[in-house]
Amino acid sequence: WTPVGLSGKEKETVVVFIDLREFTKLSEKKLPYDVVYILNKYYSVCGEIIENNKGRLDKFIGDGIMAIFDGGQSSRENSKNSIKAAKLISKAIKDLNNQMKIDFAEELRFGIGIHIGNTIVGMMGYGETVTETVVGDNVNIASRLEELNKKFKTELVVSKDVLEAAKINTKQFASEKIKIRGRSSELEIFSLENAYNLKI
């Protein structure tokens, strides 16, 4: 028995994770008021860009953001929108850093991971907090790609599947094959130091 509206379906989805680097360290040196101000600036900058490019904010996880791009007509459009959003977020955070240097003498650094694949989409949660979200291996892969930015010292790590769907020239990226837990084949990924340099 499934309550109306709580059934799940499988759907190809572009999943984006964004996370701030060493924000905990930065927040230890700041007043709570300043920490909240900086985080809300970052959330609003990213949220606006995501929504303007037919994505939707799925959840905030501390200083991380999970977004889903499924508002376009095709995988190609959704993939391209996610890449465009990554470029615009990089540029917007660069501008935000220029403003913040005056007030805080600090810079926000971040990583973005993007992957496309089949996910389970459904209304999930409890009570008042039931929302439509996605779960599955491909969500975990997007999160893992975001984390790889720390290792590569980059802003963007994206899977080959996304770039192929979006028809983006891969020559502007550094590429690597990685092992993914639970998958027999390796995943080809592409990384970029500064996402605002993306040519779309």
> pLDDT tens for residues 143-164?
999 999 999 999 999 999 999 9
* Whether the Cβ atoms of residue 89 and residue 46 lie closer than 8 Å to each other: yes
**Residue partners of 28: CB distance under 8 A and separation at least 6:** none
Long-range contacts of 21-26 (CB under 8 A, 24+ apart): 21/109, 21/110, 21/111, 21/149, 21/150, 22/109, 23/63, 23/108, 24/63, 26/106
Helices and strands in the chain, H and E counts:
5, 8
Quote the pLDDT of residue 5: 55
Residues 33-56 have a mean pLDDT of 94
Q: What is the pLDDT of residues 67-91, one digit of tens each?
A: 999 999 999 999 999 999 999 999 9
How far apart (Å, rounded) are the C-alpha atoms in residues 66 and 139? 9
Mean pLDDT, the chain, whole residue set: 92
Q: What percent of the chain has pLDDT over 90?
A: 74
| Helix 32-52 / helix 75-104 crossing angle, nearest 10 deg | 150
Residues 49-56 have a mean pLDDT of 97
* Secondary-structure breakdown of the chain: helix, strand, coil percentages, each rounded to the nearest 5: 45, 30, 25
Name the pLDDT band for 2 (thresholds 50, 70, 90). Answer: very low
From 157, 160, 165, 161, select the one nearest 198 (Cα to Cα).
Answer: 157
Count CB-CB contacts under 10 A for residue 148: 16
**Entry pTM:** 0.93
How far apart (Å, rounded) are the C-alpha atoms in residues 185 and 168? 23
- DSSP state letter for 191: E
How far apart (Å, rounded) are the C-alpha atoms in residues 81 and 79? 5
Q: Say whether pLDDT at 39 is over 80.
A: yes
Name the pLDDT band for 6 (thresholds 50, 70, 90). Answer: low
Q: Which residue has the higher pLDDT, 143 or 7?
A: 143
* Whether the Cβ atoms of residue 82 and residue 188 lie closer than 8 Å to each other: no
Q: What is the pLDDT of residues 91-129, one digit of tens each?
A: 999 999 998 888 777 789 999 999 999 999 999 889 888
Measured on CA atoms in the order 122, 126, 127, 131, is the torsion positive or negative?
negative
